[in-house]
Amino acid sequence: MSRAPDGSAVTEALTLLTTPPTGAPIELHPDVVAGPGLAGWYPMERLTSPDVVTRVVDAYSASLGTRHRAAGAACGLQSCAGRVAVATIGLWVQTGAVPDPHVGTWHLRLDGEGRTAAVAPPVTGTVPVGEASDVARLLVEKHLADVVTAFREVGRITARLALGCIAASCASVLAGLHRRAPEAHQEELARVTRELLAAPVWSVAGRRLVTTSPIRVPAGPALVTERHTCCLMRLGDGRQPCGSCPDITPEERRRRTTHHATFAPRGEDLPVAVSRVA
């Protein structure tokens, strides 16, 4: 296993993720002062409190135009997981290490509608990780475990739905990193994606949660995602299913995901430090 990168290398890698085309909402020196309402910076461990998560879920459900707490819980969890995943997986792909997975070392910024607007990961305490499946395990069993418990309790959502939201976030992050990697490393990242999404940690959910497929668009290779759980956003007033939703036809899903892959911003400056994992 490789050595943990030093703080300057971590800062450099996380800063790269904040630049186009990734544009990750990562802040390394946030003003962690919460405002009087829901919006503001919080220690991430606050999202393990059912009282705080109730406020987040109700605000998210209201923003969707639904009284169904399950929708606010699924989307709120996915919003948090997506920000954590881009920092965690993005750092791992570049350095072979993940940020400190202890929830108490992270901060996050909520907006007034319950969405996670940004995260502030620690730059010290990184953990070298050799296998993509172990990255998934750390995310699910270590970093987000208590957060998932709180969102499930408040929203009464199933383990399969909760894990499906996290897996979909990971797939989206990896597809974005794949688009930013030099083409010589894209097949490697496609293999890493398959392994991470087939990790044993997802098996508690039963059937597969997310499927990714390689395609080629005019700009080059791309990964498209098919979800096997719905985030429930479509329950909102006037809301439509997302492009990877299992509740649309395969033809419509392929049309929408291919369109996104075709026009999503790309690059070729992402360092890829992880080796092939079988």
- Residues 222-242: pLDDT tens digits? 999 999 898 887 777 777 888
State the distance between the two ends of the chain, measured CA to CA, in whole angstroms. Answer: 15
What pLDDT score was predicted for residue 276?
47
Region 171-199: mean pLDDT is: 96
Residue 259, pLDDT above cutoff 80 = yes
Q: What is the structure's pLDDT at 85?
A: 98
Q: Full-prediction pTM beyond 0.85?
A: yes
Record the tokens describing residue 66, joined without a space: 């639904």
Question: Mean pLDDT, the chain, as a whole number?
Answer: 92
Q: Residue 248: which residues within 8 A CB-CB, separation 6 or more?
A: 241, 256
Please state, as a whole number, how many other Cβ atoms lie within 10 Å of the Cβ of residue 108: 26
Q: How many CB atoms lie within 10 A of CB 111?
A: 17
Tokens of 128: 């070298």
pLDDT digits (tens, 9 = 90+) for 108-149: 999 999 999 999 999 999 999 999 999 999 999 999 999 999
CA dihedral 100, 103, 106, 111 (to 10 degrees): 150
